[in-house]
Structure 1
């Protein structure tokens, strides 16, 4: 992003967790408001608002006000207001957190399809691991303002860098083990189970165990190894 560029010229739009819709404006006016502030002619505003509403499947709601909409419909209006500017980057702050479980699952699929269709960069901040794993091309796990790991969902799930990352992505057991032998790619690791520092292979008081990792299901499928036969 170039320094000194005015905020309205940066090609960045924001979709808020709380929707932040104007209660006294219709859906059409809410979606078209950024264009109004940019002094886009009224005819063009209405055309672009209608086009975006159709894309989000709320074309029949353009004359309603937010109080007359469901949570999912308000979510779509908030997204439409961000998209109508045709941004290069869309920032989304927990966009599904106010929806019930069934609607969240449906909106996840719609958001993914919309991003693929428009081809824009979306920076999404979820606190739900299912949303993170199912929507991201690149996943960044942050704790206390520091990046703990970055990579594809498959990389982060298959090879978590820290215990925190492993607990965040879920679907795995975390045991108090330490490595007792060199790791060989493709071979099961030999680990010593202990609550203290590893005293060495074969030392008294330790148990060497051989770990066979089951084939992992894709984190995008929503299944775990226990779900497979």
Structure 2
């Protein structure tokens, strides 16, 4: 028989996918490859953020303006017929800056064929970002919040992690190391174990209940994502937990 191979899906971090999809990337005002929400520039941090509620616009997390394959093609056609200043304006407006060669493949659908990479999207993105909130270093200026834990508390947490290195089963992979001292050198496996194994029990005596419960939603969603087989009902639960985590983050952090 004749065997045909078809590319159905591509994965990578955001900068890599932005290149192959010919989108404007994560620092633009239309950074999301799945929806068309507009970013808001923060002068203090010199970064574009994507809150659901801002001074000029509100988005419903359960009904975001999603991108479609047809919409991508329309965006590409719109920028192909302009140049100069008008081209730059259209690129900023649409978040697309060219025609991806992958559009030639009938097996590829934008953006469905470019799913979120759990390693970069969750473990090496959200996990360290939340840690910086708890350290009190996420913002450049001093930020007083109930979710910021003192250095002495992090010393205790780090000591507990290192003291239990020999107590961890080999199936857990890399043994825990002091997160306060070594978080900058954490690999994806370290962040994975921190999220699903260590964070909740180590934070429960220190992080206020409101913030711990919010973080627990993210942890439980991630655990479901890591299952080898995910049912339709579990997909619905994952969606609910992530949306509730985002709502919690925007409300309290």
Query: Structure 2 length normalisation: TM-score?
Result: 0.25
More helix by share: 2
More strand by share: 1
Between structure 1 and structure 2, the one with the greater Rg is 1
Query: Structure 1 length normalisation: TM-score?
Result: 0.27
